[in-house]
Amino acid sequence: MQTKGRFITFEGTEGVGKSTQLENAANTLDQLGVEFIVTREPGGTPMAEKIRELLLAPREEPVHETTELLLMFAARAQHLYNCILPALDRGKWVLCDRFTDATFAYQGGGRGVPKERIALLEALVQGDVKPDHVILLDAPVETGMARARQRGELDRFEQEAQDFFQRIRDTYLERATALPSKYHVVNAALPLEQVSASVSALLAALVKMPAPA
């Protein structure tokens, strides 16, 4: 079955299993006969991946919040125009590990950047392009950080204090509560099999829904 391209993003704090569920989502869409690509932010194109390296690498020099914010949207512009939009135009679904919700959560909730400043850059870079649906994998911060530490060395963001990630989680849940038709909250603290089953069922339901206008 072929459907009109749709833009589906996966969001959540550290250690909630986004990579695992993106793989699960890819398998689900493949079984349903839907053409898709899997990508990520920051990153998704060679230049955007270079910006990702700059953003994530631990460093002695303090990174100003404005620098971080502008780099995020610089990578997003490359990603959007060279990867996401071309795929959607070809009728493919786009499964993306994070998008602008992450900026509102991490730079807005976590760093305290005013949401109006983020919204200004969102409008400049994206115009009216936003995800059709957001799958928010949610788990207590303690659970997610314990999983993240098990993965090995932490990047610059993962080294932040626990209250930083609590503010991020709170921001994600606020956005989901404000627009429940777009945001689908999945309890990522449950056993992996249950989380995967929930995500697969959600995607199967989205495939059956009428394509966005």
Residue at 93 is within a domain: yes
**Mean pLDDT, rounded, for 167-195:** 96
Residue at 161 is within a domain: yes
3 pLDDT above the threshold of 50? no
**Mean pLDDT, rounded, for 61-75:** 95
Domain holding 181: CATH number? 3.40.50.300
Q: Is 96:39 a contact under the CB 8 Å cutoff?
A: yes
Residue at 74 is within a domain: yes
Cα angle at 195 between 191 and 199, to 5 degrees? 170
Q: What's the domain count of the chain?
A: 1
Query: Angle at which helices 192-208 and 18-31 pack, to 10 degrees?
Result: 50
Q: Which residues of 169-193 are buried (b: 16+ CB within 10 A; e: fewer)?
A: bebbeebbeeeeeebbbbebbeeee
Residue at 2 is within a domain: no
Q: Is 36:95 a contact under the CB 8 Å cutoff?
A: yes
The residue range of the domain holding 80 is 7-208
137 pLDDT above the threshold of 90? yes
Residue at 163 is within a domain: yes
170 pLDDT above the threshold of 90? yes
- Structure tokens, 27: 């398998």
Q: What is the mean pLDDT of the chain?
A: 92
Residue range 13-29, pLDDT digits in tens:
988 999 999 999 999 99
φ/ψ (deg, to 5) at 200: -65, -45
Residue at 112 is within a domain: yes
**Mean pLDDT, rounded, for 99-125:** 97
Residue at 194 is within a domain: yes
Q: pTM for this structure?
A: 0.91
Residue at 1 is within a domain: no
β 183-187/36-40 pair status: unpaired
